[in-house]
Structure 1
Amino acid sequence: MIRRTVSALAAAVVMATAAAPAMAQTAPAPAAAQPGLSISDVSAWIAAHGGQVAPVQRVGDQTFIAVRDGEMTWAVFFYGCTGDVCADIQYAAFFSNPGVTLDMVNNWNRDQRFLKAFYAPADAGGDPSATVQYDLLLRPGGVDQLTDPTAVWVGMLGLFARHVGFLVETPAPAAPPQ
């Protein structure tokens, strides 16, 4: 009984497909816009927003720019590049001073989101250091997509710099007696 049902079903499928009209050919979908930004557009955008941008540097496979922003210098590393257009960027900053500790960095990573840090012990004759990083996955579109993540980076970078003792908060001036 099962064999007869399977044979009848197979025959029905063959007849249905033979009688069906040929499927219409569809044109291939247009290629999706590739994510990413050009290195020159990122550099120009940062400069237009007040950062002093150094020329592009290439060391081995690594491409980056240095940015001077107020009291701090940080870098933009470019990843997943095809020519001058890169799919991802990473903001990074390096702080070195005798007061940087592993506990400081661990506490930052435990208590903060977005920017992640790592600790490096002192080299001979040097100071310990902390590096903080923030990765951005770029999408198709213009440089305006940098606005919000860069605001997060710049705001939290100052917090991190104070956390590791690079920037020292100055107390507000005392109010004059009344």
Structure 2
Amino acid sequence: MLASASIEAGSTSGKKQRTGSPNQAQIKWRTGAQERIYNRRLIEALRAARGAARPGAHAVKEAADSALALTARGQSRWSRAILTSRLRRRKLLVKAVGRIRRRRRSPVPSKRDPAAMKVGRVVPGCRSLPAPTLLEEAADYVAALEMQVKAMRALADALSSARIASPESEAAES
């Protein structure tokens, strides 16, 4: 049996079950091609965010998240949730005018594990997933966030070294 896929014994449907390990998600996000694609998209998104309506950190976070979701190409639930949340937010702004308030129902106590519920709240689009699927999505999301941190750290280092180098070159010319 392969580690990435196994056929359930006694199943007549012949479908394969995915038993992917978190290492697969990390390997996927650590390829040089994925990093280059993400870096390019991040820089493009940050340039576009300069003139955005949302100032500062919100614009940077939105740009980084959307670049990450685009790099994932909608193959994971969290990436689709990030991409569609931007569309919903725009629609909500339009619908917010003249909205009638309604009473909210009291929340029904859940039978789910509290730890799984917390993980589901952290990973976009994964609040109502069963535990095995939630863990796969969370592993993929964490690997993607690690790549995002690495890219943003490299970008910050490059910008800070460019700032340090520019005053020295100006002082040398004077």
TM range (shorter): under 0.3
Higher share in strand: 1
TM-score by length of 1: 0.22
RCO higher in structure (CA 8 A, sep ≥6): 2
The structure carrying a bigger helix percent of its residues is: 2
TM-score, normalized by length of structure 2?
A: 0.23
* Structure with the greater alpha carbon radius of gyration: 1
